[in-house]
A and B are shown apart, each in its own frame.
Chain A
């Protein structure tokens, strides 16, 4: 019994020692990894800072405005161009058109974005078996 205990003891001791050593090695490797990651973060942050500055420089009004005028034919918005949705006269017709389009899409087997299941009639019309759609309309 004592012999077994001793053997187990030796085993445990050696395992412990090895594990400890492995952990120590791992720690050192991890520390190096952390240091390199931190350096990478620092570099990336510097690059982000630089790119943000560059983006802001490119997006400045004094540059965008002449470009928009010259190439897009845009000009400053005038108050007369503002209207609320309620002021749009044929809103109902747009709504009807939109509904027709949705129905047509359903019949042609295209995706619907509502996530609703196409009903049996539609499936029958399509002449295929039941196909499940997820919310994005993918089969």
Chain B
């Protein structure tokens, strides 16, 4: 019988057909074929084998159908290029998502001189694409046949690289590299920082990104897949602030100008500018001491703006009562120090008057009466006495009196004998107008409001500070009258500090500043503007005090930024 041979094979294990070759060896034994009784066991065995084979084939068929319908597993290709480690960095965007920094893939053209057949022809071809080609240098490089690698041009745009590629030059090749570019980084050098040649963050937010481990080492130039880093900065507000400061710089012929806009509840820095400024990514400028960012990078004696804190101190100490006055009849002399007012009234002043006339004597008396312990406790809780850490690095440490004696209590009351980074001061002031919640300046957007802690100041103090700051702008005798902006309920305090020079203070160089918050009923934003060595506005003013330069600059800034910040003007009662 024909099948007998194959029958012999059926004694093989039933999984034989799985071995792959589509041999027709294990023939399905027929059910009917062997009819005789003695063959019955064989027949049953054959039947079993047949069944087994069918199951096997069914399994294979089923698997095929499954593969066919579902498609294979994800395919990934890896391309390794002989490149050093570089970092793919997440984009940096402003609080509204506008691009500040990004990685782009740049192509760099190199040549292997030993494989360039015709140097002249190659240069001729390159010149068609690169019109600023240094032919001499390139000819020299390419003629040196002993060299195997010379850079022709680094950082080519894709269009130019394509054009060169199409020339089909033998001996030339491209490598692509990641480059950090800062399309929206104008004037943000001190905040955004810069990266090194390997795309590693070295300063500012860029360094912060590396510290957070968000810069990924890559071998091929690929863009980071991470979410963009969202700054608290609003580029529109930033541009308006920088523009107004620039105008102030020329209007008052100041040496430098700095300004900041803070959200008083979260401490977010919506804009921070210091002129002269430099662009993000400019490492050389960042290291130039003449361009130090004065908002974040230097400490200054800020003067009478500190009287806001002194007022809060006196209120917390419970020494401000109706009818209570502070002696400002004559200068105070302690050791070799002499304290006097800028425009002495020579009489006792109420707390309101001390604030509105910006009386040093009155402030000194308040602080003295409140005591240095309470003073230091309040200033510490406002965050003014310790180095302040931010995302862009720790601010320069405050310069404090070594032994905090009676005289220091008095001078600190009006902002002398203590030097701070203006940003740190601004953050401290935010706590005095936001209901007493101490805040830290944040350069990254905060999506959640900070948790409410026990307030630094009580409700009475909160109301008093806001009322007097508002009065200082609204009242005809206040020093901040020029900071008024109709509809925005601006309140603030001036500060004119003489610049310390060897052996005392300069008579004609000053740092003038104005700290303001708006709207004063329930402050949302705080601005702090500092002008360095301003002069009287030509043909308008005779003096150069803060009320004449920093205050009107603040008003101009608020006029521009308040609508951007979504605040509608509210005109009521006194039309302001």
Contact = CB atoms under 8 A, between A and B. Distances in A.
Interface stretch (A57-65, A108-116, A119-127): A57-65
B24 A65 contact: no
B338 interface: no
A58 to B, nearest CB: 8
A5 B486 contact: no
Contact of B487 (A46, A55, A79): A79
Given A10-B24, A38-B77, A61 B223 contact: no
A84 B243 CA distance: 28
Contact of A49 (B57, B102, B488, B569): B102
Interface residues of A, dominant DSSP: helix
A101 interface: no
A6 to B, nearest CB: 5
Nearest to A84: B568
Interface in B43-68: 50, 53, 57, 60-61, 64, 67-68
Given A1-B31, A53-B104, A62-B239, A13 B24 contact: yes
B50 A82 contact: no
Interface in A29-63: 30-31, 34-35, 38, 42, 45-47, 49-50, 52-57, 59-62
B291 interface: no
A65 B488 CA distance: 25
Contacts, number: 123
B28 A61 contact: no
Contacts of B72: 27, 30-31
A31 B222 CA distance: 21
A78 B31 CA distance: 99
B104 A2 contact: no
Interface residues of A, number: 45
A50 B183 contact: no
Closest 6 CB pairs of A and B: A2-B30, A61-B239, A56-B183, A56-B99, A57-B183, A5-B28
A1 B174 CA distance: 70
B404 interface: no
Given A46-B158, A50-B157, 5 more contacts: A23-B68, A34-B75, A46-B221, A76-B559, A82-B568
Interface of A: 1-3, 5-6, 9-10, 12-14, 16-17, 19-20, 23, 27, 30-31, 34-35, 38, 42, 45-47, 49-50, 52-57, 59-62, 65, 76-80, 82, 84
A53 B183 contact: yes
Nearest to A52: B99
Contact of A79 (B24, B53, B184, B485): B485
B486 A76 contact: no
Contacts of A38: 76-77
A84 B569 CA distance: 10
A49 B28 contact: no
